[in-house]
Amino acid sequence: MSRLLLLLLVPLLCVFVACPHHDDKDDPGFSGDDDECGLSCGGASNSSGMGTGDESTTVGPNPTIAEGTLAPSYLLNSGPALPGGILDDAAMVALPGRRALVAGGFRTGNVAGAEAYLYSGISRTWTTVGPMVQARTAHVMVRLMDNRVLVAGGFDATTAALATAEIFDPNTNTFAPTGSMTATRGFHTACLLDDGRVLVVGGLFGSGSSAEVYDPVMGQFTALPGTASVERNAVKLNDGRVLLSGSTNTTATLFDPTTNTFTDIGPMNSPHGFFPTATLLNDGRVLIAGGRGNVFETSATDFFDPISSTFTQGPSMNLNRGQHAAFKLPNGDVMMLGGGDNGIVHDTAEYWDVNLNTFVMMQTNLPGPRLSLVAVELVD
């Protein structure tokens, strides 16, 4: 049975950037207890809230973990509390053996931490590991082909953007330094390529529109020619190319790892701005949903067709959402969780019905309003 681990991060102060099929989802729903999935490639906690805008909101309660089944029916129940008081912008990655690594993120006082924890979906317990070599938040974590984890960039305890990187070894549960990136990056995105390298793209408050690749054999980063947007979602397509989407305009980009080149494509039908989600569908298309558009969050969606390299307009979500989480259910539906809309933080969820091509609201809600959610599928 597939299982989902959802890190329900709750920022104490989130600043919005100005810039098999079942029919009973609404029956079991979410438990509402207070006590991967078609996920995009690794990014800074999937969606993040640090920025330069003037709209802010305080939300609670404390961060919690939820674990749920993805088949044959969808359930979400509270799990064991995450130790360490992570508040926002941590990163999480699934490891074999139904485990998940959570590291970094803001702590009380909005200070980046170096703490790291390993979750077991078998015993449903947390184990303290590490710590990381350097405290960081808004970083990326990507599981390599040998199951080690690359940790790169982010912001340190002084909020300075980082170029440093490190490797987590799941055999020893320790972190060790590796080569630094060619640019400082925070709120960037990263994606494991079919050849074992890692593509790292963009970021805010540091790198601008640049990209590079990490070679895990050499332990080195190499800058790539061409440019990519400051803030992107990265989704590896079935043919090995990577779709980069999400910016204040309607342009998207394709990265070809065989030539190390970027090609602008589009336009998308809506500017998805910062913090949309991008989900690889069962038919090979990509669903891009929400985000902060030119002014406020949007409910708009786009479908990307990798065969024609074109976008078609999708159905609107029921609510505007940015900084939300999205994951694909085994039947092909895509769930949208939480997020914000012009200062309002959602505790609601809805899903895109693959057969009806429409969004349906869940009848029960999350345990509280949530931004910067992170979701991974626990794997054997």
Query: How many other CB atoms sit within 10 Å of the CB of residue 91?
Result: 29
Domain 3-378 has CATH 2.120.10.80: yes
Which amino acid, one-letter code, is at 205?
A: F
pLDDT score, position 191: 95
pLDDT at res. 86? 62
| Rounded Cα–Cα distance for residues 101 and 78 (Å) | 18
3-state SS, residue 198: strand
What does the pLDDT read at residue 23?
A: 38
pLDDT in tens, 22-66: 334 433 333 333 223 344 576 544 333 222 222 222 223 334 455
Tell me how far apart the alpha carbons of residues 171 and 91 are, in angstroms, rounded to a whole number: 20
Higher confidence at residue 317 or residue 49?
317
Amino acid at 268: M
3-state DSSP assignment of residue 139: coil
Q: What pLDDT shows up at residue 34?
A: 29
State the residue for tokens 């920025």.
51
Which range is most confident: 7-21, 47-61, 243-257, 316-330? 316-330
C-alpha 165/C-alpha 322 separation (Å) is: 28
Task: In whole angstroms, give the CA distance from residue 331 to residue 334.
Answer: 9
For the beta sheet containing 75-78, the strands, ordered from the edge strand earlier in sequence to the opposite edge, are 75-78, 64-69, 3-8, 374-378
57: its two tokens:
């909101």
Instruction: Give the integer Cα–Cα distance in Å for 230 and 251.
Output: 12
Q: How many CB atoms lie within 10 A of CB 316?
A: 16
Q: In percent, how much of the chain has pLDDT > 70?
A: 74
Tokens matching residue 258: 């065989």
The ranges assigned to domains in the chain are 3-378
**pLDDT given at position 235:** 94
pLDDT of residue 43: 54
Which residue shows structure tokens 């970083």? 139
Burial of 139 (0-12, 13-18, 19+ CB in 10 A): buried
CA distance 19 to 376: 28
Report DSSP state, residue 130. Answer: -
Nearest residue to 87 via CA among 346, 365, 372, 326: 372
Q: Which of 66, 67, 111 is nearest to 85 (CA)?
A: 111
When computed from its CA atoms, the radius of gyration of the chain, rounded to whole angstroms, is 19
Q: Is the pLDDT of residue 136 over 80?
A: yes
Nearest CA to 176 out of 135, 212, 131, 220 is that of: 131
Measured distance CA(254)–CA(55) in Å, rounded: 33
Q: What does the pLDDT read at residue 26?
A: 38
3 state DSSP class of 135: coil
Most confident of 10-24, 69-83, 116-130: 116-130
- Mean pLDDT in residue range 350-364: 92
Eight-class DSSP state of 124: T
Cα distance between residue 11 and residue 372, in whole Å? 8
Q: What is the pLDDT of residue 231?
A: 57
Structure letter (DSSP) for residue 282: T
pLDDT of residue 47: 34
pLDDT tens for 230-267 read: 556 899 999 999 999 877 678 889 999 999 999 989 89
